[in-house]
Chains A and B, each alone.
Chain A
């Protein structure tokens, strides 16, 4: 059994990167390996935007990641500096909306140290993007 770490650089719906990463993560689990962590960087942090609402007849990538985290106990980390740069951390100040309701369930916010640690601890680190 190997430990896989994934880095997701692209936003959902902007290309195929997020979808491919999700399918790869699912396959890793199916094959009996471990997903050590998924680190969302650059535009990848948009995968954690809990209030994103695609039309009902389209896939909901954010919800898929959330389910993966909650059902399979996968560590989903969004980069704090990438999120701050893109306004995700300011939400409570702008709209009066608490941060927890902006970030989808199953994601947590942390720094690049988590990415380095994933690279050290995991047997493989794969980068997904567009």
Chain B
């Protein structure tokens, strides 16, 4: 959805909260469960000009993760900064 929206020249921001932050954890071996590796998709975000990738600090901390554990550079936001970010959007989709 992110890539499709970006392909239609929409300004897209991606926000990872709660268990969503795990999707960027480095060192995952999805092939062990015959699952598709989504890392190439995340790595292609830059190619699609999706520069705004956010992760919530509290969500990372609650899961014992730090920004260095992630396979992509993200902008960190505190929980109280989520509301203002959402308020700036015209369309919000949760996955």
Contacts and interface: CB of A to CB of B under 8 A. Distances in A.
B4 A125 contact: no
B12 to A, nearest CB: 10
Interface in A26-54: none
Interface residues of A, number: 10
Interface residues of B, number: 9
A115 interface: yes
B5 interface: yes
A125 B92 CA distance: 8
Interface in A69-120: 112-113, 115-117, 119-120
Contacts of A116: 4-5, 8, 10
Interface of B: 1, 4-5, 8, 10, 90-91, 93-94
